[in-house]
Amino acid sequence: MNICVKSLSHLPTLEVVFFRSIVSLVICLSLLKRQNIPVFGNNKVQLLFRGIAGCIGLIGSFYTLQNIPLASAVTLNYLSPLFTAILGVFIVKQSLKPIQYVYFLIAIIGVLILKGFDTRISFKDLIIGLSAACSAGLAYNIIARLKTKEHPLVIIFYFPLVTLPFVSIFCILDWHQPTGTDWIYLLATGLLSQGAQYYMTLSYQHANLGKIASLNYIGIIYAIIFSYLFFEESLSYTTLVGIAIILVAVVLNLKTKSTSN
């Protein structure tokens, strides 16, 4: 999906989000109706907030993928587990151990190194990437709070339900007509992200958050390889050091067992 979004860098971010949302809406509605599952669920307020957080997170994620090197964009997006842990203190009442604050500091140092030595990342891009990761962390906490109270498709459905009305306004004002292979990339973005989001939601509802999140970081290895093979993006040693520091901080944090109040 990241490769597809990166390949659509010539299209406005909100337009890519628009098409991704349409694919998600069609798939969710058809599957929910086929399985006779109530579309709007039972916990509408929490689902609505999950939709808003998901909307902000995806827009920011797609923006960074389109505007900064792939590996750096994926690394910033994958800071979400740190925000998940911090927000979890307030949302799901999960306390943090003192050592975890040290890991957060290490991750911040990694971000500063990544920003400082990769001149292709502006301050605005950095803020948008961090905001996207924070919004994703909020969404994961809401999913964890809902647990098995809602069907995964219902949780996912609230994303396009919230996102489409918002991005449609901007698409009307700044429409760029997709051409040729753009349609293939747009369709692939919608299908791949829908499948990934469904299984991500399912796993966060049923499995240990830390163990699941740690598997996501294999994606950064893919991103480094793909950024070189598909986009000829080179990474300096200092940029790789920044990515490595962030990875170490996040993995150590995920391996630290948190206690619940």
Query: What does the pLDDT average to over 217-234?
Result: 79
Domain count, the chain: 1
Contact, 136 vs 61, CB < 8 A? yes
Contact, 252 vs 103, CB < 8 A? yes
Nearest alpha-carbon partner for 231 in 33, 65, 26, 75 = 65
Tokens in use for 256? 């630290």
Q: pLDDT of 9-54, one tens digit each?
A: 999 999 999 999 999 999 999 999 999 999 999 999 999 999 999 9
Tokens in use for 99? 């050592």
Q: pLDDT of 102-146, one tens digit each?
A: 888 888 888 778 766 677 888 899 999 999 999 998 998 898 888
**pTM recorded for the entire structure:** 0.82
Structural domain that includes position 97: 2-260
